[in-house]
């Protein structure tokens, strides 16, 4: 157990800096005019904004750049009505820095924070979760997940115990590659997590007809990872213009092209966009405010991408 921490001078400085940072981002905030739309978690009815932050890259940069870059990205997410931040503990120093940000007074009560267990062995998994509690300064995490089904049969009883004891509000599992789909499907035949996280985008669509309908049938909340294939999506499309017909659903960038395709699927609860740039975070958030492509438009999108 750990004691609640007092507000440090660093946190006060961060809070004071927030006003200046938000002023710099004012044009992006003005465009929003409304908060990110929300969708319900099937099991409880709690609503989550449909755009979230996959924080791995920006947290990894803390050692080099400090905590202010991640703080600005999170400020932008929150300013646009977002709250879900997906995390993955890998580096103790970076996790401590990240914890100082998410526990700052300016974000009190405004974040839905997840974590993952990726260690082999029951004791190692429990120790990792306890370290996350310490780093993030939280006794209760909003969502605890088993990363890539690692040591699934060992960790799943642990997650159920964490939820029963109130250390986790929700529990779930993640996959990010087709090779794990069989194992996930077998797991879902006998267990019902609150959340399942999977890879899905305009360029990685296997989950569209395989996992997303299964999640909907089982009443599971769905988080989407790799909406831009960890950046390779943009490399593939570099120098190529958007098709003119993308304007029919107010699409003005390749990032929106994939995000709008994903958001058109109502089985999706929240898309985890990964960025280190506050302006890109704002752009991602604003994408959710516009129309999504129709069934016919989505067919054209698939055909276009497959031909690239």
Residues 156-189 pLDDT 10s: 999 999 999 999 999 999 999 999 999 999 999 9
- Tens of pLDDT, residue by residue over 11-31, are 443 344 444 444 444 444 444
- Binned at pLDDT 50, 70 and 90, residue 33 comes out as low
Nearest to 211 by CA among 284, 273, 265, 292: 265
How many structural domains does the chain have? 1
* Inside any domain, residue 151: yes
State the pLDDT at residue 262. Answer: 98
Please provide the average confidence, as pLDDT, over all residues in the chain.
91
> Can you give the pLDDT at residue 193?
98
CA 277 to chain centroid: 15
| Residue bearing the bigger pLDDT, 30 or 218 | 218
Binning pLDDT at 50, 70 and 90, where does residue 34 land? confident
Domain-embedded: residue 141 = yes
Q: Higher-confidence residue: 3 or 142?
A: 142
Q: How confident is the model at residue 27, as a pLDDT?
A: 41
Residue 33, in any domain of the structure: yes
Give 117-169 as a DSSP string: E--SSHHHHHHHHHHHHHHHT-SSEEEEEEGGGTTHHHHHHHHHHHHHHTSEE
Provide the pLDDT for residue 231.
Answer: 85
The Cα 236–Cα 32 span in angstroms is 29
- Residue 229 or 101, more confident: 101
- CA nearest neighbour of 261 among 213, 222, 228, 308: 228
Q: Please say if the pLDDT value at position 2 is more than 80.
A: no
The residue-averaged pLDDT of 78-102 equals 96
Predicted confidence at residue 29, as pLDDT, reads 44
Find the mean pLDDT for residues 76-103.
Answer: 96
- For residue 125, being part of any structural domain is answered with yes
pLDDT value of position 1: 38
Q: Is the pLDDT of residue 302 over 60?
A: yes
**Is 88 within a domain?**
yes
pLDDT digits (tens, 9 = 90+) for 285-299: 999 999 999 999 999
* Residue environment code for 185-220, b if the CB has 16+ CB neighbours within 10 A, otherwise e: eebbeeeebbbbbbbbbbbbbebbeebbebbeeeeb
What percentage of the chain has pLDDT greater than the value 70? 89
Residue 3 lies in a domain: no
Rounded mean pLDDT, 206-210: 97
Q: Say whether pLDDT at 43 is over 70.
A: yes
Nearest to 143 by CA among 62, 46, 284, 210: 46
How confident is the model over 47-63, as a mean pLDDT?
Answer: 96
Instruction: Identify which of 49, 162, 178 has the alpha carbon closest to the alpha carbon of residue 112.
Output: 49
**2 domain residue, yes or no:** no
Output 251 or 31, whichever has higher pLDDT.
Answer: 251
Beta strand 51-54 with 38-40 is unpaired
pLDDT surpassing 50 at residue 32: no
CATH number at residue 183: 3.20.20.100
When pLDDT is averaged across residues 96-113 and rounded to a whole number, the result is 98
Using one digit for the tens of pLDDT, what is the confidence trace for 111-155? 999 999 999 999 999 999 999 999 999 999 999 999 999 999 999
Mean pLDDT of the region 98-109: 98
Tokens of 199: 């890879």
Judge whether 198 lies within some domain: yes
Domain containing 292 equals 9-307
Global pTM exceeds 0.85? yes
pLDDT, residue 261, reads: 98
């Amino acid at each position: 157990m750990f004691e609640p921490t007092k507000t440090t001078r660093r946190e006060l400085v961060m809070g004071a800096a927030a006003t200046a940072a938000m002023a710099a981002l004012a044009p992006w905030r003005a465009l929003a005019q409304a908060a990110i739309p929300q969708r319900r978690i099937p099991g409880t009815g709690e609503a989550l904004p449909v755009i979230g932050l996959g924080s791995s890259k920006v947290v990894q940069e803390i050692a080099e750049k400090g905590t202010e870059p991640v703080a600005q990205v999170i400020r932008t997410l929150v300013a646009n009505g977002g709250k879900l931040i997906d995390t993955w503990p890998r580096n103790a120093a970076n996790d401590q820095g990240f914890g100082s940000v998410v526990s700052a007074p300016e974000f009190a009560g405004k974040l839905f924070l997840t974590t993952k267990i990726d260690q082999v062995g029951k004791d190692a998994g429990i120790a990792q979760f306890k370290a996350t509690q310490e780093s993030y300064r939280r006794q209760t995490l909003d969502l605890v997940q088993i990363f890539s089904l690692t040591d699934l049969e060992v960790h799943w009883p642990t997650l159920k115990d964490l939820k029963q004891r109130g250390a986790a509000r929700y529990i779930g599992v993640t996959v990010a590659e087709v090779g794990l789909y069989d194992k996930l499907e077998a797991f879902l035949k006998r267990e019902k997590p609150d959340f399942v996280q999977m890879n899905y985008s305009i360029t990685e669509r296997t989950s569209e007809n395989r996992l997303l309908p299964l999640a909907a049938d089982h009443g599971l909340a769905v988080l989407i990872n790799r909406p831009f294939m960890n950046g390779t999506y943009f490399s593939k499309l570099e120098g190529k213009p958007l098709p003119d017909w993308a304007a029919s659903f107010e699409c003005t960038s390749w990032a929106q092209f994939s995000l709008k395709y994903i958001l058109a699927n109502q089985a999706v609860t929240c898309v985890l966009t990964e960025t280190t740039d506050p302006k890109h975070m704002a752009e991602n958030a604003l994408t959710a405010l516009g129309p999504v492509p129709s069934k016919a438009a989505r067919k054209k999108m698939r055909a276009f991408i497959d031909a690239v």
